């Protein structure tokens, strides 16, 4: 099982959406899979464009394996009344590589801090419940340059470790860029000049 792999962490397989109402205010929640801050900003721009009349676009995210990079943003709501409860829902599910945005349309009645906390928590929780999850194994990239007489050994290595081939070309020497799970990156045996004979311990 992937969950038993050293360093594996839970993330979203696809997006989830939910809608919550409280005292006239509408809360539209979006749970989105992301892998970096650039994707976070892209989703935020898109949602702001899609909901330009919304009162607030509050969000939280978690990125990468433990310890993850996290951020919570209240977007004008009282401090810790929006972004923090959203982030708490992400943490409660041990998720990472996830962005949750809750878009609020004010309904005319103030909810108070406790009411806001409950509303943002409920909306985020509902969106996350709608999003399927999967396990992700952190990856590393390995660049190899080799002489043609080493080609057979490189093929043996690829067959053994089954990495993803990102790029390869052949000029005066061979060049290949691979991606494989962290912890399986190979290294030479001590005292040996032959590469890629033993995997690194996880």
Separation of alpha carbons 82 and 113, rounded Å? 9
Instruction: Give the pLDDT score at 58.
Output: 99
Q: In the structure encoding, which two tokens stand for residue 3, read together?
A: 């969950």
pTM of the model: 0.74
Token representation of residue 2? 């992937």
Q: State the helix-helix crossing angle for 83-92 and 112-129, rounded to 10 degrees.
A: 40
| pLDDT of res. 3 | 52
Which residues, including other chains, have CB under 8 Å from residue 171's CB and lie 6 or more apart? none
Dist CA 139 CA 202 (whole Å): 12
What does the alpha-carbon distance between residue 33 and residue 36 come to, in Å, rounded to a whole number?
Answer: 10
Each residue of 99-132: b (16+ CB within 10 Å) or e? Answer: bbbbbbeeeeeebeeeebbbbbbbbbbbbbeebe
Q: Which residues in the chain land under pLDDT 50?
A: 1, 188-202
Confidence at residue 161, expressed as pLDDT on a 0 to 100 scale: 74
pLDDT at site 130 = 98
The tens digit of pLDDT for each residue in 2-29 reads 555 567 889 999 999 999 999 999 999 9
């Amino acid at each position: 099982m992937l969950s038993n792999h050293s360093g594996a962490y839970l993330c979203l397989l696809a997006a989830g959406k939910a809608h919550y109402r409280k005292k006239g205010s509408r809360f539209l929640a979006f749970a989105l899979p992301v892998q970096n801050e650039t994707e976070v900003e892209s989703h935020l721009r898109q949602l702001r464009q899609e909901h330009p009349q919304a009162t607030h676009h509050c969000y939280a995210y978690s990125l990468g394996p433990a310890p993850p990079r996290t951020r919570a943003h209240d977007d004008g709501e009282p401090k810790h009344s929006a972004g923090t409860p959203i982030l708490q829902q992400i943490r409660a599910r041990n998720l990472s590589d996830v962005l949750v945005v809750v878009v609020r349309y004010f309904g005319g009645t103030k909810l108070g801090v406790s009411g806001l906390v409950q509303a943002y928590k409920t909306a985020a929780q509902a969106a996350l419940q709608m999003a399927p999850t999967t396990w992700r194994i952190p990856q590393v990239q390995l660049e190899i340059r080799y002489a043609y007489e080493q080609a057979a050994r490189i093929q043996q290595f690829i067959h053994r470790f089954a990495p993803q081939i990102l790029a390869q070309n052949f000029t005066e020497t061979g060049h290949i860029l691979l991606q494989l799970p962290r912890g399986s990156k190979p290294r030479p045996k001590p005292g040996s000049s032959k590469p890629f004979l033993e995997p690194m311990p996880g």
